[in-house]
Chain A
């Protein structure tokens, strides 16, 4: 997995606090987005599409041998890619139970995203979280 995932949620929150204003924080999100490993064109299909975002978003989750998930997601917009990177920091490598227990709200609040993202962007972020949780829930319901 790409190097940026070495950043933990706590380090991310620290970085956000260090940055002076939202212009710099958005710039940081864009840089995170640029480091997000792209999805293959063949994975950008309707089945993987997350609706409810203004930008196009595709997301898939692969179960690993230790009952956790590898999340792969992409967007055509860099700020959305940056938000995806944050979601990967929260949810990647977690078990279904861990994913279902965390709706991300606490992290978004610490980052200030709950107040500084536009309402349409917040809806998009919640759509992505809902998709991640739905895929995790589906895997629990269907024992492999």
Chain B
């Protein structure tokens, strides 16, 4: 069964999951910080890892480690099977047409840079327009700025409507008519907005615009189906999806990948090398120069198994319920600004208090064991547009509980008194 294209219309399904029991799978959640039990609410920056992922990585190094591909010996065969098995697992996770459409990267950032430096560099010309949105993370903005400066392309932005964090799509067809490529985020890492990527990609496709989706905030939290979204590229990071750091994924539509030039040169990505010329391997290998992060891929495989065993619909529903509980309580604070308060939002909650700087709040919350993020969240232009220097951000995941939301609010209210 294919998950729905958009992730805002999910049926309620999470009644059957014992969320508190899942916490036992995460050794780090037993840490105390400054003599208080850890309340980890920085999941939009990085998720924690279940024992199953830690074990998979350790087992790989203890039993299977060798270099992949072309090895003649047993361990190389095992490592290759583990690595290519992980690629198949990712393809299934994203409902890609085949595993040849899955490129392993270091993370979302590298995936986006790969598209900018291969497909886009090869196909865009001076005067062409790259369409982005005003809520992009720096990693889905700066690579396009660098490319645009290099080739003389222009950037255009789908605007946001205001504090509610919605994209203003009233000019979308006009903007698409002027664009060659659209790159946008699935979920805003600052405001928690869930963008209607399937609808937007369909309209882009009708206009002949190539589409890139930044799924860093969605891939570990909700069903993400590349065929239902019908995008050309989609990138996510392992470390935000319960997997290891340093591993990520770029999905690319097969016909585009085949026509694209390689990204970096080196081993693994070639078929035949002579002193003055080389013939390149086929996708996905031509985009994976050098020895890949095999252990990372193995850990990611275990992470995706773990998430699917819970069910991504249920995880999203749980994130939403915690975010709603937090937003309802936050809204009681006089003068607070909460961003992205729209229907169907995700588990990322950003806010600004009138009397306390976000950095001060986060520092004092940390003294009480509550891990928040404060700052610009790699969203400097967005914060400038909203007219704030920094926000405090709580971002929830399936191992967070209602009691932790209440603790966060209690700590926030007590800390706030110091600044009034």
The interface of chain A, by Cβ under 8 A from chain B, is: 21-23, 26-27, 30, 54-56, 76-80, 118, 121
Whether a CB of chain A sits under 8 angstroms from the CB of B418 is yes
Measured CA separation A76–B356 after assembly (Å) = 9
Asked if residues A26 and B367 are in contact (CB atoms below 8 Å), the reply is: yes
Asked if residues B367 and A78 are in contact (CB atoms below 8 Å), the reply is: no
Whether a CB of chain A sits under 8 angstroms from the CB of B283 is no
- Interface CB pairs A-B, < 8 A, 15: A21-B34, A22-B367, A26-B363, A26-B367, A27-B364, A27-B418, A54-B359, A55-B357, A56-B389, A76-B389, A77-B359, A78-B357, A78-B360, A80-B359, A121-B363
Q: Mark B344-368, 1 if CB is under 8 A from A, else 0.
A: 0000000000001101100110011
Interface centre among A78, A80, A118, A121 (most CB of B within 10 A): A78
Please judge, given known A-B contacts A54-B359, A55-B359, A79-B363, whether A23 and B390 are in contact too, CB under 8 Å: no
In addition to A23-B368, A54-B374, A76-B389, 20 A-B residue pairs with Cβ atoms within 8 Å of each other are A21-B34, A22-B367, A26-B364, A27-B418, A30-B360, A30-B418, A30-B419, A54-B359, A55-B357, A55-B359, A55-B389, A55-B390, A77-B357, A77-B359, A77-B360, A78-B356, A78-B357, A80-B359, A118-B363, A121-B363
**Shortest Cβ distance from residue A109 to the other chain B in the assembled complex, whole angstroms:** 20
Please judge, given known A-B contacts A26-B364, A55-B357, whether A78 and B34 are in contact too, CB under 8 Å: no
Asked if residues A76 and B367 are in contact (CB atoms below 8 Å), the reply is: no
**Shortest Cβ distance from residue A19 to the other chain B in the assembled complex, whole angstroms:** 12
Whether a CB of chain A sits under 8 angstroms from the CB of B246 is no
Asked if residues B34 and A23 are in contact (CB atoms below 8 Å), the reply is: yes
Chain B residues, Cβ within 8 Å of A78 = 356-357, 360, 419
Nearest-CB residue, chain A, relative to B376: A54
**Shortest Cβ distance from residue B414 to the other chain A in the assembled complex, whole angstroms:** 11
**Shortest Cβ distance from residue A46 to the other chain B in the assembled complex, whole angstroms:** 15
Whether a CB of chain A sits under 8 angstroms from the CB of B381 is no
**Shortest Cβ distance from residue A36 to the other chain B in the assembled complex, whole angstroms:** 14
Nearest-CB residue, chain B, relative to A22: B367
**Shortest Cβ distance from residue B46 to the other chain A in the assembled complex, whole angstroms:** 16
Please judge, given known A-B contacts A30-B418, A55-B390, A76-B389, whether A23 and B364 are in contact too, CB under 8 Å: yes
Chain B residues, Cβ within 8 Å of A21 = 34
Nearest-CB residue, chain A, relative to B36: A23
Nearest-CB residue, chain B, relative to A27: B418
Measured CA separation A76–B360 after assembly (Å) = 10
Which residue of B367, B368, B375 is within 8 Å of A54 (Cβ)?
A: B375
Measured CA separation A22–B389 after assembly (Å) = 26
Chain B residues, Cβ within 8 Å of A56 = 389
Asked if residues A76 and B34 are in contact (CB atoms below 8 Å), the reply is: no
Chain A residues, Cβ within 8 Å of B363 = 26, 79, 118, 121
Chain A residues, Cβ within 8 Å of B367 = 22-23, 26
Nearest-CB residue, chain B, relative to A31: B418
Measured CA separation A74–B355 after assembly (Å) = 16
